[in-house]
Structure 1
Amino acid sequence: MENLNIALIQADLAWESTKKNLKQFEEKITATNAEVDLFILPEMFSTGFSMNAEKLAEPKNGSTLKWMQRLANEKNAAVTGSVIVKEDNNYFNRLYFVFPDKTFKKYDKRHTFTLAKEHETYTAGTKRLIVEYKGWKICPLVCYDLRFPVWARNTVDYDLLIYVANWPKTRIKAWDVLLQARAIENMAYCAGVNRTGLDGNKYQYTGHSAVYDSLGNPLFDQETEAEFTKVVTLNKNHLNETRKKLKFLQDRDKFTLG
C-alpha cells in the first residue's frame, strides 16, 4: 500500500475513569469521517498514567481490548494505544495494536519510568514488536522508551515508528527534539501522540503530538495544547526514494542488544 492514513487523537484524560475515557475516544473515533487506516491513542488512554494498578488493571483479554476490537472492526481501521493489564500476577503498561479483523499484537513497555516509580508497580517488557500492516512495517513504543535510541534502532527497515505517551509539560522540549531525532536517525516516519490536561497528580500535559518524515520534517504544526484528531497521510514511495538516495541505514553500526 503506497499511502497510510494515520489519525492522531490528542485528548485530555479523565483520571482513573475508564468509562469516561472510552466514551470520549469512541465519540472522537466515530466522528472521524476521513479515510483512516490507523487510529493512535495516548499511553494509558483509559485511565491516565496511574500507579494504582491493583484497582485499575484489566485481565489480558479485558473490556478495553474488546472495546478496541469492536471499534477497529466497525471503522475498518487498526487501533493502538496502551492500557494497564494484569497477567500472571504482574502488571504491565501494555500497548495493543488491534487490526480491523479483531486480531491483535501486544507490546509491554520496555523502559518503565523510574522517576515516577513506575518500575515498582509495572513489569518491564523484554521484546520489541514489529507490526506488518497494509504493506507497512510499524514499530510501536511507549513514552519513556523515547529516551533510549538503541531500543528503537532501525535494524529491520521498519517504515513507521510510533510513540504513545503521557509526557508532561515540564519536559516537553525533550519530547519535541527526540521525536524528530528518532525519525532522522532511523530514516522512518515517526509519530508521537501525547495527552493534554491535568492529571490526578497535578501534572500538566501540553500535547505536542506530531509526525515527522524520514528527514525530520514535521508534517503538520504540532505545538498545540488543544484536543484534536489529526489525520496525516504517509507516503511509502517518498520514504523508499529517500532511503534509496540517502543510504544512511546501510552504514549503521553492526551490534545487537545483550
Structure 2
Amino acid sequence: MKVAAIQMVSGISLDANLSEALRLLRLAAAAGAELAVLPEYFCFMGARDEDKLVIAETLGLGRVQDFLSDTARDLRMTLVGGTLPLATDDPAHAANASLVYDARGQRLSRYDKIHLFRYDNGRERYDESAVLTAGTAPTHFELLDQAGQAWRIGQSVCYDLRFAELYRALAADVLLVPAAFTHTTGSAHWEVLLRARAIENQAYVIASAQGGLHENGRRTWGHSMVIDPWGQVLAMHAEGPGVVIAELDAARLRQVREQLPSLQHRVLA
C-alpha cells in the first residue's frame, strides 16, 4: 500500500491552509497514495492558543470536516485529517481531534489526543491544557487496501509519541503520528522516538509534521517520515511544505515479526 505523509507550515488563514492542504493531497494522489496523513493543526495555527476555540467545530458539522470528507471522496483515498479543534461541553476548551475519512468520504474514526503538551525552558512556554481537553481512549481503525490486504491502523498525535504504553495498547500494523513538534524538542527527540516506536511495536510509522517558521512566530521541526518495522527510515522531508511517499509491504511486516518475535515474548503487561 502506498502512503503519504503531508508536511505543512500552516498559518493563521483557514482558507490558505485548506488550499495548501488540497494542493499537497493532490500530489499525493497523483503519486498513487491510498492513505494520506495531514499534520497536527493542518487547518490553523493561530496567533494565540485561544484562537483554536474560535474555529472549533461540532462533530459532523463544519467547513474543515466538509473539506476532509469531500477531498477523501474526490481523490479516492483514505484521509487522516491531522487534527482540528472540535467543540466540547466546556466553551473554554476544545478537543484536539484526528478524524479519518474513507474513499467514499465517510468518517471512519475519531481520536482525541490523550497526552497534552506542556514545556517551559525559560524561553519557550507551551501548555495545551489551557485550551484543550484531553482524550481518554486509544483508537484504531481497520483499512482494506486496494490489493485486499487488511491493516490495523493505530492513531496518536504529537506528544503522545513519548508514551510507549499507548502504542502497546494499539497493537497496530501501522502507527500514525500527525504532529507539530517544536524545533527545540524535535531536533533532540523526534526521529529517535519515532524509530523506537516502530522497532518496539514492529510496525510501520507514518509521521506527518508541521515544519518551518509560522506566521505566529512558532518554529516547528518538520522531518516528516515513514519508517518500516525494522526502524529504517524509508522516506523523509526535512523542512517546508512537501509530500513523503513510501510503500508499506505486508510481507515485510510479517518477515520482521517472524524473524524476531519479540511481540510474543512480552512478559509484563
TM-score by length of 2: 0.88
What are the superposed Cα offsets for residues 30-74 of structure 1, whole Å, 9 maximum, x if unpaired? Answer: 234121111110001100274423212122122111110101111
Distance of 2:172 and 2:127 partners within structure 1? 31
For residue 19 of structure 2, the aligned residue among 4, 20, 23 is: 23
**Any conservation in 1 of the 2:237–2:244 contact (CA below 8 Å)?**
no
Change in 2 beyond 3 A, CA 1:53/1:206: closer
Distance of 2:127 and 2:267 partners within structure 1? 33
Structure 1 unaligned regions, length at least 5: none
1:210 aligns to what?
Answer: 225
Per the TM alignment, residue 191 of structure 1 is displaced from its structure 2 partner at its CA by 1.6
1:78 aligns to what?
Answer: 78
Runs of 4 or more, structure 1, over 6 Å off, are none
Are 2:111 and 1:107 equivalent residues in the alignment? yes
Are 2:233 and 1:240 equivalent residues in the alignment? no
**One-letter amino acid of the structure 1 residue matched with residue 64 of structure 2:** T
Instruction: Classify the secondary structure of the residue corresponding to 1:152.
Output: helix
Alignment of 1:136-151 (within 5 A): 136-151=151-166
Alignment of 1:25-174 (within 5 A): 25-32=21-28, 33-48=30-45, 50-61=49-60, 62-80=62-80, 81-89=82-90, 90-104=93-107, 105-115=109-119, 116-134=126-144, 135-153=150-168, 155=169, 157-172=171-186, 173-174=188-189
Instruction: Classify the secondary structure of the residue corresponding to 1:151.
Output: helix
Per the TM alignment, residue 156 of structure 1 is displaced from its structure 2 partner at its CA by 5.6
Distance of 1:223 and 1:46 partners within structure 2? 20
Change in 2 beyond 3 A, CA 1:48/1:252: farther
Distance of 2:50 and 2:114 partners within structure 1? 16
**Any conservation in 2 of the 1:51–1:118 contact (CA below 8 Å)?**
no
Change in 2 beyond 3 A, CA 1:228/1:67: same
Per the TM alignment, residue 114 of structure 1 is displaced from its structure 2 partner at its CA by 2.3
Of all paired residues, the percent bearing the same amino acid is 30
Distance of 2:75 and 2:155 partners within structure 1? 21
Change in 2 beyond 3 A, CA 1:56/1:253: farther
**One-letter amino acid of the structure 2 residue matched with residue 91 of structure 1:** A
Instruction: Classify the secondary structure of the residue corresponding to 2:87.
Output: strand
Give me the CA root mean square deviation. Answer: 1.6
**Any conservation in 2 of the 1:191–1:211 contact (CA below 8 Å)?**
yes
Per the TM alignment, residue 200 of structure 1 is displaced from its structure 2 partner at its CA by 4.5
Distance of 1:53 and 1:224 partners within structure 2? 26
1:183 aligns to what?
Answer: 198
Structure 2 unaligned regions, length at least 5: 120-125, 145-149
Distance of 1:118 and 1:156 partners within structure 2? 24
What are the superposed Cα offsets for residues 135-160 of structure 1, whole Å, 9 maximum, x if unpaired? Answer: 1000011000001111111x564100
Distance of 1:218 and 1:247 partners within structure 2? 21
2:147 aligns to what?
Answer: none
**Any conservation in 1 of the 2:115–2:134 contact (CA below 8 Å)?**
yes
TM-score by length of 1: 0.91
**One-letter amino acid of the structure 1 residue matched with residue 45 of structure 2:** G
